[in-house]
Chain A
Amino acid sequence: QSVLTQPPSASGTPGQRVTISCSGSSSNIGSNTVNWYQQLPGTAPKLLIYRNNQRPSGVPDRFSGSKSGTSASLAISGLQSEDEADYYCAAWDDSLNGRVFGGGTKLTVL
């Protein structure tokens, strides 16, 4: 049981917009910034979003993040086949004094 809650799966067709939610609490998302990571099959995770809505250089602007209260979302617009991957949200948890991840969302491009 993960501290941050994500839907286990999401899907969309090429060109569509998809959103992935991440629900937490006041001790994690509610009081700290959120990261999003993309993990392609067989590879290490890659930082996709930092500080809730910032993209590292090289990450397409099709990817965007947002946060409101104790929830966060990752939106992917103009869906492409190469976006098929697992996506994880993460945040620091003040109560646990540690970093927590969501359970991950497997994105399928139909």
Chain B
Amino acid sequence: QVQLVQSGAEVKKPGASVKVSCKASGYTFTSYDINWVRQATGQGLEWMGWMNPNSGNTGYAQKFQGRVTITRNTSISTAYMELSSLRSEDTAVYYCARYYYDSSGHWGFDYWGQGTLVTVSS
């Protein structure tokens, strides 16, 4: 069965960076894009960016351009999201999600990781 398993909670100081991992299993990792979405406590979903694990191509939300980097290691079917210059407003749960599509077209985020809480505090 398809699973996305994320790394554990992190506590960081303002100005630091955080790198969250997302290990995929149950399907061919390079076949579908991985996206990252975050959610501050009590707030809505916010899309951060995507990556094609096969080519390594990426795209980022304008809000995070220059601060976020999404990478992968295909040998271990793992995607990473690194966010730099952290500030208190970056405190949120960060999710990875698989973007599925088939011969008929696009679906959406059909599998999600369990979420990783990143707390930014001095």
A110 in the interface (beta carbon within 8 A): no
Interface contact B47-A98, CB-CB below 8 Å: yes
Interface contact B107-A97, CB-CB below 8 Å: no
We find that the number of chain B residues with CB closer than 8 angstroms to chain A is: 25
Find the B residue at minimum CB distance from A104: B44
Cβ of A70 to closest chain B Cβ, rounded Å: 18
Which A residues are in CB contact (< 8 Å) with B105?
33, 51
CB < 8 Å: which of B46, B106, B107 contacts A56?
Answer: B107
Cβ of A76 to closest chain B Cβ, rounded Å: 18
Which B residues are in CB contact (< 8 Å) with A88?
44-45
We find that the number of chain A residues with CB closer than 8 angstroms to chain B is: 24
Cβ of A24 to closest chain B Cβ, rounded Å: 14
Interface contact B106-A51, CB-CB below 8 Å: yes
Cα-based distance from A67 to B96 in the complex (angstroms): 27
B108 in the interface (beta carbon within 8 A): yes
A: which residues have CB within 8 A of B? Answer: 2, 33, 35, 37, 39, 44-47, 50-51, 54, 56, 88, 90, 96-104
Top 6 nearest A-B pairs by Cβ distance? A35-B108, A44-B112, A104-B44, A50-B107, A99-B47, A101-B45
